[in-house]
Structure 1
Amino acid sequence: MREQRLQVDILRGDVRELEGRLEEFRLSDEKLDGRLKASEGKLREKDQGIAPLAARVLRSVFTVKTDDGLGAGFAGWVQDGQLYVVTAAHVVSEVGEQVLLERNTGSWRAEVVGRDRGRDLAVLRVDGMPSGAKALWQRAKANKPRVGDALLLIGSPYGLGGTVTSGVVSRVRPKEIQTDAAANPGNSGGPAVDRKGRIVGVLVAGGGENLNFAVPIMRLCGSLRRC
């Protein structure tokens, strides 16, 4: 009887060990399946190119029209139920100025509520809430690009709203991000976006198709936004 009980105990131990191994295999399979799905998702995203990203960001980018000209701006954040749009300081004239924001689905009035000439950045408060315009920088977070990273510029060159160009980050300095993505008059104030859709900067200047500059998004902190 003792020998039989011993054999039964041994068999039970073997069964538990086998069950443990089967559970390890199951967990391993789940991890592999998760990695496979993630890889497939990345491949699909790569095959689709930048189109899905551009479509998502475009809903939050506007043409900024003033009495003196035009530029671009993007939905930055929502505070107390109001949308704040970021643009370049040289696109607008002064705090209190009334400007017009346009997008293919309509137009909205906005007021300049902050302007930092030194950093060439400005903030507008929108009268109303444009449908579909998601705040692109709701959390005041630094998204630091690296040289060689892909970069999208979205703006209104020569008034052509919703224009998207792409390139790479050519150079990074504390106060500026250089890119070879094409930009022209009317792009100023538009967002510089990485491949994950994160705002890395605000376009403020250019010297040609392959020499354009954005101010790092965190330069808004302090004078124009509490971060």
Structure 2
Amino acid sequence: MHMIFFRKIVLTVAGVVVLGALASAAAGERAGGVAPLPQQAPVRIELAQAERQVPQSREQVQLSFAPVVRQVAPSVVNVYATRVEEQVVSPFANDPFFQRFFGERSPFFQSRPRESRSLGSGVIVDSTGLILTNSHVVSGATDIRIALADRREFAVDLVLDDPETDLAVLRIRDTGGVELPAIAFADSDVLEVGDLVLAIGNPFGVGQTVTSGIVSALARTGVEASDYEFFIQTDAAINPGNSGGALVDLDGRLVGINTAIYSRTGGSVGIGFAIPSNMAAVVAQAGLAGGEIVRPWLGAKTQVVSADIAESLQLASPTGAMITDVAPGGPAERAGLRPGDVVTAIDGVTVEDPSAFNFRLATKQLGSEARLAVMRGGQAFEATLPVEAPSQPEESQIARITGNTRFAGATGQELTPALAQEQDLPFDARGIVITEVEEGSPAEAMGLATGDIILSLNGIEMTDAGTFAETASRRVRTWEIVLQRDGRVVRTYVSG
């Protein structure tokens, strides 16, 4: 077999034109006239000719991905997560009659701990033993272990679990002083549809497996219920167990973390999705820095630009993220943004929709600035957005309830614009968000839960932490509590 390279040679084939012209002239003479020769420029045809060389290596002879696999495979690990769950062991567990008349605490419905295991993959991103995987692989696990490509096993600790991106960071407890093979990150923004990629993981628990394919699409959304959807789509075979594994380019660099498949049967149908490496790198860096991830806050709400909105705003096409509400004093307001503006690009990169904008902003470094291309009333301008984290609450905005009260053990915080946005509420919404409920406390026994937003107590609106602390510490016969939970407003009465 010969390696083939191409070099271009240029041939001038004016003779072809002349012969064609002479043939026309002869036809003209036979018809009784003389046809003049056309004055045409010589035609230039570019031909590609193979230049053959002797293969320089075994891989060139085989045209193989083996060099890339040898480089990357040691950085991909198998992840084994164990969970202990309570399971009701009774033949009447699902019978509504017994549930109604005997209750779940009856001997009929006693529960026993049940152990379940899940399988996934991970990628070593730091030689000290830092590993990236999917959040859904390890979330809720009571014990996590990893196995290297050479079958060595290690116990690991969960350093960071980030359901918003479906990423988690693990750290090997003791590497024995051995440096582990860490993979290098690629810039996922330079990927193009059609690029060759390899997926490496542990599908169905059969052991480390490599599959190849191309990038089928970029910036896919609507795949998972995460806050930062911006997936790479590939047709490389991805199956259960591949989650958390590596998607690499032909330079052996990490371009994505495999996370999901589209399938009706549970097997690969050639539609797999990976979290871009630029987002994975942000989470990995947070894990390396101590396990806390703080993301930039826009201080504004956005929505998709429909065709009708694009027409009304004099936009050339229905793309971008339209600002619908701006938080007072937030970064967006200080950048000069206002409702009705459409952000079309960030740092020169086109923004197709709010998901793309959220992804781009989330990968920016805190303390930096982002250049936004904005359309307003048919006119384009540029805004400079400060990349900042949400402001932390002051001590005066937090209330910790103690003493002889039904609310003892609860900690509440004033509803700030950032918290209001997390709860999908208007920026000017008022209330007290329950941020902590101590286990075994009166507040827990009353049914209060983290994330509840207390709107009023006995008719008194909860506008600030001081009002909540003073009201909740009272001794009363009955409490009338109005709170919001899971998007629903609930009014309930409990004894004091």
Which range moved further: 84-93 or 171-180?
A: 171-180
Equivalent in 93, 112, 115 of residue 139 of structure 2: 93
Q: Is residue 66 of structure 2 the alignment partner of residue 51 of structure 1?
A: yes
For 1:3-152, what aligned pairs fall within 5 Å after superposition?
Answer: 44-45=59-60, 47-67=62-82, 68-78=117-127, 82-94=128-140, 97-103=142-148, 104-129=150-175, 133-137=180-184, 142-143=187-188, 144-152=190-198
1:191 partner amino acid: A
Partner of 1:180: 235
Distance 1:111 1:204 in 2: 21
Equivalent in 197, 203, 210 of residue 164 of structure 1: 210
Distance 1:42 1:196 in 2: 17
The answer on whether the counterparts of 1:112 and 1:122 sit within 8 Å (CA) in structure 2 is yes
Distance 1:48 1:128 in 2: 39
SS of equivalent to 1:225: helix
Distance 1:45 1:97 in 2: 47
Quote how far apart the aligned CAs of 1:59 are. 1.0
Quote how far apart the aligned CAs of 1:127 are. 2.1
SS of equivalent to 1:128: coil
1:99 partner amino acid: I
Residues 42 and 121 of structure 1: is their aligned pair in 2 closer, same or farther, counting only changes over 3 Å?
farther
Structure 1 spans left out of the alignment, 5+ residues: 1-38
Partner of 1:213: 273
Distance 1:167 1:52 in 2: 17
Higher helix share: 1
Q: Write the deviation string for residues 6-50 of structure 1: whole angstroms up to 9, x where unpaired.
A: xxxxxxxxxxxxxxxxxxxxxxxxxxxxxxxxx966995474411
User: TM-score, normalized by length of structure 1?
Assistant: 0.72
Quote how far apart the aligned CAs of 1:91 are. 0.4
The answer on whether the counterparts of 2:186 and 2:253 sit within 8 Å (CA) in structure 1 is no
Structure 2 spans left out of the alignment, 5+ residues: 1-53, 83-116, 221-229, 263-267, 287-364, 366-496
Quote how far apart the aligned CAs of 1:134 are. 1.2
SS of equivalent to 1:53: helix
Distance 1:46 1:121 in 2: 39
Residues 133 and 224 of structure 1: is their aligned pair in 2 closer, same or farther, counting only changes over 3 Å?
closer
Residues 167 and 98 of structure 1: is their aligned pair in 2 closer, same or farther, counting only changes over 3 Å?
same
Structure with the greater relative contact order (CA < 8 A, sep ≥ 6): 1 or 2?
A: 1
Q: Which has the larger Rg?
A: 2
Distance 1:193 1:109 in 2: 26
Q: Give % identity.
A: 34
Quote how far apart the aligned CAs of 1:133 are. 3.8
Quote how far apart the aligned CAs of 1:190 are. 0.0
Q: CA-atom RMSD, angstroms?
A: 2.7
The number of aligned residues is 184
Equivalent in 247, 250, 254 of residue 192 of structure 1: 247
Partner of 1:11: none
Distance 1:48 1:62 in 2: 26
